[in-house]
Structure 1
């Protein structure tokens, strides 16, 4: 059955009606869930299920209020949206770990990594405190069975280097430049430790952004609305004037909308930064 939602409903689920924000957030989650399913991953499927018309109606609604540029700020997730590991994490853990006696296969390391990462960490909800060394040491040991401090330091340092990462979108630099030239401010919003700033410097992309809201510095991790609100504060915009793009429905989309921002799911609702720019109203 196709989805059909009026402009009034769009106003409701966009979170811009403060009296209905809770209901709006629930509707937002429902729409995000629908749009992120595999069957809606392309434009043709979106039209079949009626989602394409919903998205266009929402974009038209925003343009009727704000003009061609629909948002004053763009918030971007780091890992999984802006950049990803150049090689699978389990492969790196194994390759570097072999000289330290790591014998687990990549599949075993990945399974153990996921299990360790999902467990509660300490007495706090924060995994990334300052450089997050205690957390990552726990993850590495749990994933590989190796507690050698030299092994950990080699791994930890490796993931701060340019060779450890690649950009998800090769056109990112050109697009972010166009977005900023159009007057839209741009910030990173990331659950990461204090290595993020030197990492962005190593990747030569730190100048693409006007601000960084890093969980280790803000002391709040997505989906906590605090980190999104901090990003908006750093950019000098109201939450309702910002849109966040990220690859995690819970952390990125739901978290941003709970903060009052608009949000699009990377890999489903948008698949390139050029598409992000076009939806904002910026020509690239």
Structure 2
């Protein structure tokens, strides 16, 4: 998900922050498949229709999950105590450069992703302090560092109620499951497929096929929504799976709901 790096940067870890980290947070805050049912797409007695798709696959970082604050702002704020003096524009340039650089290993996110993210943080800030890295890493481990796009929760609930199978398909490390729980949406999904767990990263066809197998929906009857032209769109299309690019083909979660439930967007 290289193109999504500037918007997501998924650095994640434990459930309860240390007192110093909690104080940091306060400071930042101050500054169609079998079993498908024909249901109403909305309340108010509208005509009942079958969903246009039996399954929805969603990218995580940059699509379903958005940063509560820009990554450069957070890196700079947390780095003050460690001597980070780079301007936010410079931090962002370094972040993009590190994120898009070729990775010599098969997967960027091995296990918890620490080796990769350590390089990203150092390249972004020129700071190699392990304490600084740990603070950044742990900050992004919690749901309050992230947010759902407007209408996402209701969209997922409406689609699930309509019988649409839901899956997350993400190039991410093993902390994603905990993050989805923090945001109270993990139970919405019939499958959560994480690259570091299955050993394949988008655009590899295997990761999409794994998700489709887990939700029991054929590629021709599902749609994937993600924010990267190569990892998401090209990868999905290669196995006959339709893909809507977030921010281009669809720009809001209610629009995703309306298209899947065969309603004309209001």
Q: Specify if TM > 0.5.
A: yes
The 4+ residue runs of structure 1 with deviation greater than 6 A are: none
Among 80, 88, 91, which residue is 2:70 paired with?
Answer: 88
Is it true that 1:166 corresponds to 2:157 in the alignment?
A: no
Indicate the structure (1 or 2) with the bigger Cα radius of gyration.
1
Structure 2 counterpart SS, 1:120? coil
RMSD: 1.6
Q: Distance in 1 between matches of 2:248 and 2:97?
A: 26
Residue 236 of structure 1 and its aligned partner are, at CA, apart by 1.5
1:104-183 map, 5 Å: 104-122=86-104, 124-169=105-150, 171-183=151-163
Aligned residue in 2 for 1:75: 57
Aligned residue in 2 for 1:217: 197
Q: What 5-or-longer segments of structure 2 have no aligned partner? A: 1-48
Mapped contact 2:52–2:262 kept (Cα < 8 A): no
| CA positional deviation for 1:160 | 1.0
Quote the offset at 1:125 in angstroms: 3.5
TM (normalized to structure 2)?
Answer: 0.77
Q: Report which structure shows greater RCO (CA 8 Å, sep ≥6).
A: 2
- Give unpaired runs (5+ residues) of structure 1: 1-66
For each residue in 1:69-90, what CA deviation from the matched residue of structure 2 results, as whole angstroms up to 9, or x when unmatched? 2211000111111121111111
Instruction: Give SS of 2:200's match.
Output: coil
* Equivalent residue runs for 1:16-35 within 5 Å: none
Aligned to 2:180: 200
Quote the residue 2:26 is aligned against: none
Greater percentage in helix: 1
CA–CA distance in structure 1, aligned partners of residues 155 and 170 of structure 2: 20
What's the secondary structure of 1:160's corresponding residue?
A: coil
**Following the alignment from structure 2 to structure 1, what is the Cα–Cα distance between the partners of residues 87 and 106?**
30
**What displacement does 1:282 show?**
5.6
- On the 8 A contact 2:98/2:120 being kept in 1, the answer is yes
